[in-house]
Amino acid sequence: MIEPIAINDQTIYPGKLAVLQRVLPSYRVPFFDMLTEKCAGGLSLAAGEPRPDEAIDTTSGLKTAQFQPLMNIHLFKGKSYLCWQKGLLHWLQSFNPDSLVVEANPRYLSTRKAISWMKTMDKPVIGWGLGSAPTEGPLKSIRISLRKKFLHHFDALIAYSQQGLEQYRSLGFPAEKIFIAHNAVAPKPTQPPIKRSDNRQNQPGILFVGRLQERKRIDLLIKACSNLPQEIKPKLVIIGDGPEKRALQDLAEKIYPAALFTGALHGAELEPFFKAADIFVLPGTGGLAIQQAMCWSLPVITAEGDGTQQDLVRKQNGWQVAPGDQKALELTLLEALSDIPRLRSMGLESHRIVSEEINLESMVSTFITALNKTS
């Protein structure tokens, strides 16, 4: 067993870590670079390219970790999708890691080869994933059995959320071997909480940041804003680019011309918009910008999703609405914008959550804990 080494009172992983991803999204780079700094033996990450229609912003530009490109062979689509990653075993044999972290997704067929290779070397493998969504249909029992069999190849599991943990546990995986690394894309905020005035002088500001895709349901946000009472009609700022941009601009011109489309912005370009906003709204799936908005002391309205939103957005700092429910979104916006002092208090709670609980530092710490406990 590899014993953990304490440096400056912080536990690190003393071995070599390999991480296998289907693709490497750009937003994950800060996490993997931070994780590498906690791995004394270094970190090597292998990943391939997405399908052209997935619209995933990928990169190979890791600053501290090694990157190994793989060839992804995509099979079928939708619920039948499968993936095989060519070059996987060559990478493992060359790097010869002490531990391996893989996505806990049985649709990635070659992952089983990686697990098998590590087991022949008597080295641990940790699965990382959202959880295991409930299964329905005539093949329910067979699919559940296959999921259980797949999961029990792992020495430990890392879940994105409490919901994910419960789903893994419901499949019989030992609770003491499941760790929660709350999904984070930003470090602890360096700025103090923003104390906005309780007395709103101008129209309230609503902010959306993300890729303009159909699944983001920005159309519902535009429609909901157009139906709000005149006295609280907000300044709606939509930041991002994507295939739905033209359609959304056309919709806004018809029913809510006050909406501002800025195009894609990054880094420091976003700061003035976060500071000027009163609330952050993400009406569809996804949620990478939620944590970033919370760093700027913003309350959040988001659609219920995969469980990661439940840990970030609570009744103390925001609202979750049923996905696709425009009326629910309207009523929630009305409630939020009608009580500015409450909105300010919720924003301060957002800042506390990302400062103390859910951030990149905490996510890395959980990974290191899981690695050391399974080594």
- Tell me the Cα Rg of the chain: 22
Token pair, residue 261, equals 């489309």
Residue 262: pLDDT band with limits 50, 70, 90: very high
Residue 135: pLDDT band with limits 50, 70, 90: confident
In this prediction, residue 7 carries a pLDDT of 44
Instruction: Quote the Cα angle for 24-182-113, to 5°.
Output: 45
User: 286: closest CA among 189, 240, 217?
Assistant: 217
pLDDT digits (tens, 9 = 90+) for 47-91: 999 998 887 889 998 999 999 999 999 999 888 899 999 999 999
Q: Which long-range contacts (CB under 8 A, 24 or more apart) does 25-31 make?
A: 25/56, 25/57, 25/58, 25/59, 26/57, 26/58, 26/59, 27/57, 27/185, 27/288, 28/185, 29/59, 29/61, 29/62, 29/63, 30/185, 30/186, 30/187, 30/360, 31/184, 31/185, 31/360, 31/363, 31/364
Contact assessment for residue 301 and residue 215, using Cβ atoms and an 8 Å cutoff: no
In this prediction, residue 248 carries a pLDDT of 98
Q: What is the mean pLDDT of residues 265-284?
A: 94
* Residue 263 pLDDT > 90: yes
In this prediction, residue 288 carries a pLDDT of 77
Q: What is the mean pLDDT of residues 119-146?
A: 88
Q: What is the mean pLDDT of residues 200-207?
A: 86
Q: Indicate the SS3 state at residue 113.
A: helix
Nearest-10 crossing angle of helices 326-337, 340-356 = 100
* Residue 213 pLDDT > 70: yes
360/304: higher pLDDT: 360
Q: What is the mean pLDDT of residues 194-200?
A: 86
Q: What is the mean pLDDT of residues 32-60?
A: 93
* Residue 252 pLDDT > 70: yes
pLDDT digits (tens, 9 = 90+) for 8-21: 434 899 999 999 99
In this prediction, residue 306 carries a pLDDT of 58
Name the percent of the chain lying above pLDDT 70: 96
Residue 214: pLDDT band with limits 50, 70, 90: very high
Name the percent of the chain lying above pLDDT 90: 79
* Residue 243 pLDDT > 70: yes
In this prediction, residue 78 carries a pLDDT of 86
Residue 5: pLDDT band with limits 50, 70, 90: very low
Domains of the chain with CATH codes: 5-185+359-374 (3.40.50.2000), 205-356 (3.40.50.2000)
Instruction: Quote the Cα angle for 89-93-94, to 5°.
Output: 115
Question: Please, which residues have CB within 8 angstroms of residue 105's CB and are 6 or more apart in sequence?
Answer: 22, 111, 129
User: 288: closest CA among 174, 369, 194, 209?
Assistant: 209
What is the C-alpha to C-alpha distance for residues 76 and 240, in angstroms, rounded to an integer?
30
Q: What is the mean pLDDT of residues 313-333?
A: 95
What is the C-alpha to C-alpha distance for residues 335 and 202, in angstroms, rounded to an integer?
18
Residue with tokens 């609202």: 319
User: 295: closest CA among 209, 224, 172?
Assistant: 209
Q: What does pLDDT average to over the chain? A: 92
What is the C-alpha to C-alpha distance for residues 115 and 124, in angstroms, rounded to an integer?
9
Residue 1: pLDDT band with limits 50, 70, 90: very low
Token pair, residue 252, equals 């806004």
In this prediction, residue 307 carries a pLDDT of 60
